[in-house]
Amino acid sequence: MTTIAKGAKHVTIINVFKVEPANQQRLIDLLTKVADSSARTAQGFVSGGLHRSLDGTKVIMYAQWRTMEDYDAMRKDPARAAMVKEAHTFASPDPTAYEVVETFSPPA
């Protein structure tokens, strides 16, 4: 379950992919396949999600991992690497690791 909370002990990877609108769904399908075949069953995986921009030019993959080491180990999976290489032929990724420092909610 996705947990967005200050002080959470996991690592959040947010990867913003730039893509041509004609390839947005293709990228979503490929990233879903990567998640189903590699990430979801990897040690340390907590949760993840895909978001698409309404203008068709971006896809954001959001993933939470127990540790950075768990994330790095998953990235070495050869099956995953082949699919990601394909994605790089038509989309430009920009992955970055984050930690939650604050959250905001409407007043009670």
pLDDT at 84: 83
Residue 1 lies in a domain: no
pLDDT at 14: 96
pLDDT over threshold 90, residue 55: yes
Alpha-carbon span 12 to 96, nearest angstrom: 8
- Confidence label for 82 from pLDDT (cuts 50, 70 and 90): confident
Buried b (16+ CB within 10 A) or exposed e, 48-77: bebebeeeeebbebbbbbeeeebbeebeeb
Instruction: Identify the residue whose tokens are 């769904």.
Output: 25
Show the beta-strand stretches assigned E in the chain. 11-19, 45-52, 58-65, 91-92, 95-98
Domain ranges, residue 21: 11-98
Kindly report the CATH number assigned to the domain that includes residue 15: 3.30.70.100
Give the residues across from 14 on adjacent strands: 62, 96
Residue 104 lies in a domain: no
For 17-42, what is each residue's pLDDT tens digit?
999 999 999 999 999 998 998 888 89
Residue 36 lies in a domain: yes
Alpha-carbon span 75 to 34, nearest angstrom: 11
